Chains A and B, each alone.
Chain A
Amino acid sequence: MALYDIQALNFTYPSQKESALKNIDFSLDEGEFVTICGLSGSGKSTLLRNLKTALAPHGKKEGIIFYKNDHLSDVSELIQAKEIGFVMQSPDNQTITDKVWQELAFGLENMGVKRDEIKRKIAEMTACFDMYDWIDKRLCELSGGQKQILNLACVMLLQPEVLILDEPVSGLDTIAAQEFMQMLTKINHEFGTAVILCDHSLEYAFSVSDRIIVMERGEIISDNTPSKTSEFLWQTKNPLFNALPIGAKIHYLAGGKPEGVPYDISSGRISLKKLISGKELKPVIHKEYEYNKDDIAVSVRNIYYRYSRNTGDIFRGLSFYAYYGSVTAILGANGTGKTTLLKNILGIIKPYIGKISLNKNSEKNPTLAYFPQDPRALFIADTLEKDLREITNDDEAIENALELFGLMKLKDHHPYDLSGGEQHKAALAKLLLKKPDILLLDEPVNGADVRTKRDIGLILRQLCERGICIILISHDMDFCAEYADRCTQIFDGEIFDTVSPHIFFSENMFFTTSARRLARNIIDEAVTENDIKKSLGIKKIYDDNSGTKDRLKNIYDERTAKSTKKNSSAVLSIITGTMFILSALAFLGLGGIALTGNTDTVPGYIAGITAIISLVSGMILGRKEKRIEISKIKRNGKGIIISLIVMFAAVPVTIFIGIKFLNDSRYLFISLLIMLECMVSFTFIFEKQKIPTREIVLICVMCALCVMSRAAFFMFPQFKPVTAMIIITGAALGAETGFIVGAGTMLMSNMIFGQGPWTPWQMFTMGLIGFISGVFFGIDRIPKTKYTFCLFGFFAALVIYGGIMDPAALIMSHIELTLDSAAAYYIAGFPLDLIHAVSTSVFLFLASSGFIKKLERIKKKYGLTHERQLSFNN
């Protein structure tokens, strides 16, 4: 019986004309191991996601998918969740909870499995996957490879019939990837679980798969056994041929027979020996990189570094030099401090002993550019072109950068909608616009397919010719051997001497390129695939690279950049600044009147009037300002109504009962009761409501983000953007979400900074701010400009937060609550409230429109609005 039988499947994303899948026909038998390969964008992920209803993308679907002789759509989601296991690419994104044991239990809890059975199953799985040592750990303490194995274990706990894996190893280093693949083959062999694996590196797939499906532009172009597939790739000159294991590649290129194609190193060596027998080998000549002392770009001399006082040294007397016009590759295991070294060179962190200096290449100081491990850290705008404009306004340079990486037709796309390889290229394009003299690259080809790797490698060589200094960290040894001038390795706080790649890789036996492993003692000098090819006399086919040089030159050329920056923002900030000072004075004055009771105090009047003027002027200014578009959230609205009833009915009743029966002397008790009522009713409604999974996730993301926003402003201690973030959340995601995020943020934040008697007050106050913000900005008549946000923020911080939290201290300490005492406390806390208010409104002034724009995109993507859901690739 076939597990899957797919007949004439067509699929088109909503906003696209061309189908992502065309006439897909294939079937999967029980216990079969099938690999789907293809370059990025060939429709692999779309196909895999269509195999499970819970993950199926939105779009037009034709054709039939049978799962165990039933239509997939008729198979209940519960059975699908159990029987169809899915592992995604990113080890990080698919983890859900905080601790390993929680993560393991998650799927079983969803199935409603009893506690003892969960325990037994987890015990079994930890033994099988050998992860007993990490069960107590937090997920953030695991490495990428461990996380991916955990994800596999979580899926296996549900005892699936078939495992679907979407590029599970493309983000992992070689050793972790091997380990993962071994685990996968073990599962396939020993438990008979069928596997559909999709991968763009075919390093492992050929030796373990029963069948290989090749996809191109949404179509299956080949579906056959590994040996026939490799023959097909070779015959059709498919670009995927380059992704084959090296032994197979050499076998075909050197004219080996179609039978007995080697897919692993040991059979590859046998085949290579056969191929060279009787042939005359050409000598492999390695060009030794010769450096000139004057070309020194980065010198790191004898540095000592540690993360904090009590941890051990990461670097102990490390010295390292890099030169202009060369690519220096740094290798080494995870956690040896490769990224830390780059950060030291960048100057973000400083060694406690030793010196790092950057030498000039020309008359000006060298410009540095850093390529982070996740290139998406570089993107900020909503289209690729706008993103590049963050660096420069030079149209010609931008155009050349886009052309250089072949991204011209994607310039209006959102950077996050690009595929992995395109994102790598876009990030490099952005960095090149800075015209860097020293380029620091942290894993620039991690998870990239063969074509992207080659493109990036060739551009790095061109940059070198221009005299740029490139320092590269990569797990990809073949990439380093091919494109680096010098290689080195960090180990135990020290760094080895930098040597040419051929020396570096020929000294090692295990930690070396696959070409070296293949050709060791056979063609002993060869360390790269090209070396082997050369010595066998296989011609290297060069791609047409003309134009690259000119484009690079065009990017680096100095042109008088057009300055199009407006100065109006400075004027606006001054206006708002004065506005705040005025309104602050106004509030002070009004407070003064309330306190003294002397209504004839002139300053009070003046203050009152200026308050009104500033408010009105704010509104007028706001009228001209561009409106911020906020779309309505899909919601039945019942939750808000019930919670409003609770708030406005239960609160007075509680106060009444308090006054009537408790003689009004137990303020603490009454106020706690009120807060509990509000929060419990909210929680109850929240618990009962059926909220889409994505919305739950988004709420958690916003809570975590609000807490972390404190950490981002580490250089401004009094500046806490939490209130502003909660206001934005409430406005963009609605009153209910605003309340939950507000209250949740304070709970979580106090989990880190310490809970106290103030926790319930803070939770209630922040929840209230989020709620009011949601209600206020939900009213259609309110003009939603950054000025309204600004004023609302000022009001919320000064009146709501200050107004509740200051007297709360009074209530907590049992001091008699009167108008006088409350006012005294409020005034005592006023200076701090004012700082809070000003920082909140400044933050909102600068950030509200940008943040809401981003949240709008996310709302569409998550399908929270009434609009049609955005399509997304990947």
Chain B
Amino acid sequence: MSSVVQENMHHAHAAHDEHEHHGNFLTNYIFSLDHKVIGKQFLFTGMFWALIGGGLSLIFRLQLGFPEADLTWLKPILGGWITEAGKLDQEFYLAAVTMHGTIMVFFVLTAGLSGTFSNFLIPLQIGARDMASGFMNMLSYWFFFISSVIMFISLFLETGPAGGGWVIYPPLSALPQAIPGSGMGMTLWLVSMVFFIASSLIGGINYISTVINLRTAGMSFSKLPLTIWAFFITAIIGLLSFPVLFAAALLLVFDRSFGTSFYLSDIYVAGELLQHSGGSPILFQHLFWFLGHPEVYIVLLPALGLTSEVISTNSRKPIFGYRAMIGSMLGIAFLSFIVWAHHMFVSGMNPFLGSVFMFLTLIIAVPSAVKAFNYITTMFKGNLVFTPAMLFSIGLVSLFISGGLTGIILGNSALDIQLHDTYFVVAHFHLVMGSASFFGMMAGVYHWFPKMFGRMMNEKLGYVHFWFTFIGAYLVFFPMHYVGIAGFPRRYYSYTNFDFTQSFTDLNMFISAAAIFTVSAQLLFMFNFIFSIFKGKKAPLNPWNSTTLEWTTPRVPGHGNWPGALPVVYRWPYDYSKPGSEEDGHSDFIPQDVPHSATPASNLEGEKSLIGKEAELQALAAEIYKNEDHH
């Protein structure tokens, strides 16, 4: 192992030491090559999008909860989208739903989550100076930025942004005659997503090569924190699935602009027979969900990785079943590629496929259950410290379980017949994917804020934020199960046209009120976040008494992360409350860079033999340091 690391470190690009870089504002903060700055850029952009995405949800929740309300007061913001009668325009309603989904899934929970924490944490936790390619890393952010700008512009088109649902199924998404959002709005959506996919791929390649090549001396894969495992696996999933979305989008562009018939056939729309023939709308769905389902795990795995770290640290206990956690993540990653058609049980595809995909889908419950049990057992007989990050992590486990369990119902094709495209599905994925990932992201921000900005966030505000958000998320999404069981279809502008949807008007009102409350509670966070950057208490070096390498850097790590040589790793990242650690002069944790020779009292049987290898690792580290470019 060590020779591999040695080999790789020799070829590592010019690394830097404590030497200060005197770039200007533009190179330090805008076109920065530093992974920490890029991570923060992703975070800020993600937060901006979260506000827009959350705001959109409030607009359509107003419509759903208070269909009689006069919305004229929204005219200053929405202009022509509010009709003369003070109602929300029906097509804008669909556009709002579509953009809410697109923004939340891709811009907030993919770029905002993976982009932020993979960038920020990978080099810090594996003991690297920076990413494998700083330039590609910068490119990744700026592609995302261009993508964001284009998507943002589409919000202001006269014909509105894309409005055919975030899954953009053709023919609806291909025919401007069918819905105005499929005109320029859809074009910009597709262009924006092409940039987004490019950004994800460039980022992903970078994460993967960094994890493989730039681990510090001693940091074998079996000593990687679970966060890194999660980011690594996520990047691989993205690398394999995003190109398929690209292909799907490209063929859609051809159908829309060049008259091909990949997805279109036998269509008579707006009084006119189209010349497209021989295409299949189902083909698009297969391609889309080949990304779309792994995407769920692209969103979720980083959140689970962050949570593993936070729960272990704040339980003052090793994560339970480290290997089982990695194994289940690998299992989930593999299975995520072969379950996509469970989104299509009633799409008209061959029912035999339905049987196969039901079987594969329900298998995924097993590794997911293992993860949940491992989290709970990590807390068992722990010594729990409730930092805001810990609260959000426990919240994540709860949401992951509640939302995951209803997946067992929806994954069963016979039951999906009734529930497909009802609010039951909305409840399910907002809990397991939306809220759970969001909670993981929040846990990450609270936990690593001190490392990002050198200051502490206010804990009390964090507590209030957590309880408001946690209770709020359940108040919004739990009642949707009832609405779904009653058969309410999703993406309905109003429920007045059907007898079977006359009930639950009060519950819909309740959900909307809860949504307004929950989104407002996020302003508390925004305040705490921004205010603490400038006015927060200065952070100690290791505020959570954590074992991982990022806490061995200076309070505000400079370019290159560690002044002097890179730390050497001797042990796994979960030596919390190890028996004998006090006698060794440590409190209830032993950082990864403490050699076993320094902790004779706490070493386990198998670890004594590792002492002999320490000299070798130190020599390797010294050689790496010597070979670094110190200028």
Q: Do A and B come from one complex?
A: no
